[in-house]
Amino acid sequence: MQPCYNKIMKTYIVGNWKMNFTIGESSIYLHKLLKRISPIKGIQIAVAPSLIALQPLSLQLDRKKIKLCAQNCCAKDFGAYTGETAVAQLRGLVDYCIVGHSERRYVFNETDKDIRDKVSACVRNNITAILCIGETESERTFGETADVLRDQLTSGLSDIAKEDLGKIIIAYEPVWAISSVKGARVAVPDDISASIDLIRKHLKDTFGKDAENVPVLYGGSVNPSNCGAYLTIPGVNGLLIGGSSLIADQFIDIIDIAKRVK
């Protein structure tokens, strides 16, 4: 019998703007989204602008419609760490923080320990961590997907107790499907479904029945033409969106499709 994964929860639509938009452009874009989006029961929309835009955007935000998400953080709460931003400094600005995105792992060489510490910092500061995991093309080719996902989950959540699971979201982003990666290809639902089952099984083996309430998102070349198929995969509770979140019409189309699907 197929587990009833989607009894949970909200559907999460999270737009990761990465290193795009100036503060002014971010403000104009958010204003456009706020004008065209209404609060939707059961769907949580969030955007992750650049760090420098978080504070000004927080002043124009309607949190009934959209929440703010940070793209990264420092695991330390304070101290002599030039150029870093503590999770404690993000309190009051954001509800979510992306941790362990593949660009942080493979471009900036963040270690499993770095990511584990950031997840813990988010939880202790009452900000929901969106923990990104996913295998590379090479790891998939050599049949290592299950080991990679298990290792990244085990490490990232090793300091998390059952009582903390309400502040955890998992985002499965296979590196080979991220549009900014050279040679990326679009993942088909069957590919994703198998990995989601692995993630769900590992969460249940680690945390028991409580893990059923952990949202799992999919990310990787998501756009209006494929998002509906991704959202119908059992165990998928939303989407982490890159390029399409930078185009208002596409992002709003994805939200509308999520509303119809869920």
pLDDT over 90 percentage in the chain = 89
One-letter amino acid of 204: K
Rounded to whole angstroms, the Cα distance separating 71 from 152 reads 18
With CA atoms as reference, report the closest residue to 176 among 196, 193, 198, 191: 191
**79: CB partners within 8 A, 6+ apart:** none
How high is the pLDDT of residue 9? 74
Cross-strand partners of 74: 86
The answer to whether residue 231 is domain-embedded is: yes
- Count structural domains, the chain: 1
Q: Does residue 180 carry a pLDDT above 80?
A: no
Q: Is residue 177 part of a domain?
A: yes
Q: How far apart are CA 157 and CA 155, in angstroms?
A: 6
| Half-sphere exposure in the Cβ direction for 42 (13 Å, CA) | 11
Any domain includes 119? yes
Report yes or no on 1 lying in a domain. Answer: no
Written as six digits, the tokens of 100 are 């362990």
Residue 217 lies in a domain: yes
Residue 2: what pLDDT? Answer: 46
Contact 114, 75 (CB under 8 A): yes
In a domain? residue 2: no
Q: Where are the alpha helices (DSSP H) in 79-176?
A: 87-90, 102-106, 112-124, 137-141, 145-156
The answer to whether position 36 is within a domain reads yes
CB atoms within 10 A of CB 175: 21
Q: What is the pLDDT of residue 182?
A: 58
List the CATH number of the domain containing 197.
3.20.20.70
Span 43-71, pLDDT tens digits: 999 999 999 999 999 999 999 999 999 99
Structure tokens at 162: 């059952």
Instruction: Quote the CA–CA distance of 148 and 143 in Å, as a whole number.
Output: 10
Q: What is the tens place of the pLDDT at every residue in 210-239?
A: 999 999 999 999 999 999 999 999 999 999
**Domain, as residue range, for 107:** 7-261
- Mean pLDDT, the chain, rounded, equals 93
- Within 10 Å of residue 169's Cβ, how many Cβ atoms? 25
- pTM across the whole model: 0.94
pLDDT at 179 over 50: yes
Average pLDDT over residues 139-166: 96
- Give the residue numbers marked as catalytic: 101, 173
Length of the chain as a residue count: 262
Does 116 fall in a domain? Answer: yes
pLDDT at res. 235: 96
* Model confidence at 142: pLDDT above 80: yes
Using CA atoms, how far residue 73 sits from 63, 203, 218, 225, in Å, is 21, 24, 21, 32
74, 81 contact by CB (below 8 A)? yes
